[in-house]
Structure 1
Amino acid sequence: MQFLNHAVLVMRPSIIIKLLLVILVALVLFFAIGTILTSPAPTSVSALSADFPVEPVQIPGRDHVVVHGWLAQGKPGGGVVLLAHSMRSNRVEMLSRARFLQDKGYGVLLIDLQGHGETIGDKITFGLKEAENIEASVDFLKQRFPRERIGAIGTSLGAAAIVLAKKNLKLDAVILESLHPTLEEAVENRLKLHFGDYGSVLLPLMLWQLSLNLDIAIAELNPIARIDRLNAPVLFISGTHDAHTTQSETERLYASARIPKELWIVPGAKHFNMHTYAGREYEHRVDDFLSHYLKRYEEDD
């Protein structure tokens, strides 16, 4: 018995050291998450097929950031639509939308937000700096198409960037897909998806990391605080089964927005490409909304 007790005592320091090392590694990894979440996602954007000719554009922005994108002409009087992708993606995500919109007569500009695709950026900032890319792109379209009405479609990060723009964009129509009302809810929803109900326990530390990494108060990144400043007709689109941005969260954004406004909750849809999921119904609703506010055909006649 004395021998066993002695063996346990010998093993205890080793076990404690190993346990401390595991805890230390876990803490280091957890504290690194903030850096990982804000790290850029550059990609080389492949060439488009010949059946969708585009003009590559480079739009000068703030802090020497040049926004890379594709521009496709529409019919005169048909309006022009800016397309902004989701987080850790690039302009290719919006390609199917661009094709159907051009078929309907709209011009389209697909851009890579900063830190994505071919647009440089040190960090992903959850809409803060990406909003400057939106501002530069809207200015570009207004200079390039002075007689056209201009709209925008943003999904997730792209939607947040549109809403968080500090400059009055003076858009004629906006479509916001899968947009979170607050960054806190967006982060908590994702933590719960990975860690269950225990994810909420990690939320304060995660938000602190992000705030420290971005050098900004988290409250500055809440679209719901600025949605009433979006002085444009707006269509909100979200899914009934979206666990990243819930239906009730979208309904809160809708309630806070100015009129005119519309809400489309897509049955069965989760947090993914709404055009891919809803297909013809998506095209019908989006075209119906945009054509009402953007097209000038009748005026030209």
Structure 2
Amino acid sequence: MPMRRLARILLVIAALAVLGAGALWLAGRELAAPAFRAIGAPPPVLQARQIQLVTTSDVLVSGWWSPGRPGLGAVLLLHGVRGDRRQMLQRAQLLHRQGRGALLIDLPGHGESGGTAITFGWRESEAVVAALEFLAKEVPCERRAVIGVSLGAASTVLARGRPRIDAVVLESMYPTIEDAVADRLKLHLGEWAGGLSPLLLSQLPLQLDITAQQLRPIDHIAELHAPLLVISGSNDRHTPAAETQRLFAAAAEPKSLWMVPGAGHVDLFDFAPEDYTRRVSAFLASRLESPTCIPDVAASFTP
């Protein structure tokens, strides 16, 4: 092959490589871009008030606090990626009808909270700690639970130094960021695209100052030290059933697993409202309905 022709071919290959790397860089920036939006006042049915918390990184976290009846517990509700607290509204209304307190927050980088980027659970976990500390001060005698969906679930498991939790519901959670990225590339581009995941993951230190090793909920799920209910859709292609089974196997007892038949990576409350209500309500009732102390002043509550 003439040298001039070879040089042209190598130049084209180099240009394509640069374009491909640029496209992946832009894709990484888009995936981590904040999802801010106005939320507004809580719906009257919740009888909630707006709150603001501050994380250890001085990020402002916005939310709603709906108090419950004494002795029935309080639940922190955490939405999925690119969502906001309104994603958890149906769950909050269910808890309110049952007399339980409900705390809904916008994770950092979402809704009306602060933050500069979505970090797939790492810095969002600081908001989980701040929210649990709020509950510990607001209702110190109540048992506390967390219901986290996808990003909210990962943020819970990755939270360092979190206050006591008495029950945890994890929905549609990825086991490792490597799995999550490869699954989504395959879903949107085809099986061949899974091999591109290392190129995206290599951007984490540059764009977000974190590493893939920090985003492995499967390595920390056994550290929850609380009764656990793991939920996922049997047809979820973002987090396939085999990955959920790996997560469940890594968790400590007591634990239970519910694979929702036919569900994908969707809102599982919307998909199976009756079964969700029955299973989750029973799980929370068995873990929350006994106060840890006698409060000085009983909280007021109007059903």
TM-score by length of 1: 0.90
2:188 to 191, 194, 209: 194
Q: How does 1:16-31 map to 2 (within 5 A)?
A: 24-31=18-25
Higher mean C-alpha displacement, 130-139 vs 167-176 = 167-176
Q: How does 1:111-126 map to 2 (within 5 A)?
A: 111-126=105-120
Per-residue deviation, residues 218-240 of structure 1 (Å, max 9, x unmatched): 01110001111111111000011
Work out the CA distance in 2 between the residues paired with 1:51 and 1:164: 32
Q: Does residue 59 of structure 1 match 2:53? A: yes
2:203 partner SS: helix
1:97 to 91, 95, 111: 91
Per-residue deviation, residues 105-161 of structure 1 (Å, max 9, x unmatched): 110000000000011001111111011000010001000001100000000000000
Partner of 2:259: 265
Work out the CA distance in 2 between the residues paired with 1:255 and 1:23: 40
The amino acid of 2:172's aligned partner reads: S
Partner of 1:226: 220
RMSD: 2.1
Q: Does residue 235 of structure 1 match 2:229? A: yes
Work out the CA distance in 1 between the residues paired with 2:100 and 2:46: 13
The amino acid of 1:160's aligned partner reads: A
1:282 partner SS: helix
1:51 partner SS: helix
Work out the CA distance in 2 between the residues paired with 1:216 and 1:180: 17
Work out the CA distance in 2 between the residues paired with 1:217 and 1:87: 19
1:32 to 17, 21, 26: 26
Structure 1 residue 68: Cα displacement = 0.5
Work out the CA distance in 1 between the residues paired with 2:18 and 2:220: 40
The amino acid of 2:248's aligned partner reads: Y
Partner of 2:242: 248
Higher mean C-alpha displacement, 262-271 vs 58-67 = 58-67
Per-residue deviation, residues 234-256 of structure 1 (Å, max 9, x unmatched): 10000110000111111111111
Structure 1 residue 77: Cα displacement = 0.6
Greater Rg over alpha carbons, structure: 1
Structure 1 residue 51: Cα displacement = 2.6
Larger helix proportion of the pair: 1
The amino acid of 1:42's aligned partner reads: F
8 Å CA contact 2:41, 2:50 repeated in 1: no
Work out the CA distance in 2 between the residues paired with 1:49 and 1:40: 25
Unaligned residue ranges in structure 2 (runs of 5+): 1-7, 295-303
1:268 partner SS: coil
Partner of 1:3: none
Give the length in aligned residue pairs. 287
Work out the CA distance in 1 between the residues paired with 2:115 and 2:211: 20
Work out the CA distance in 2 between the residues paired with 1:28 and 1:209: 12
Percent identity (aligned): 43
Partner of 1:140: 134
1:62 partner SS: coil
CA pair 22-219 structure 1, distance change in 2 beyond 3 A: closer
Partner of 1:177: 171
CA pair 23-208 structure 1, distance change in 2 beyond 3 A: closer
TM-score by length of 2: 0.89
Partner of 1:279: 273
8 Å CA contact 2:66, 2:102 repeated in 1: yes
Work out the CA distance in 1 between the residues paired with 2:215 and 2:18: 31
Structure 1 residue 272: Cα displacement = 1.1
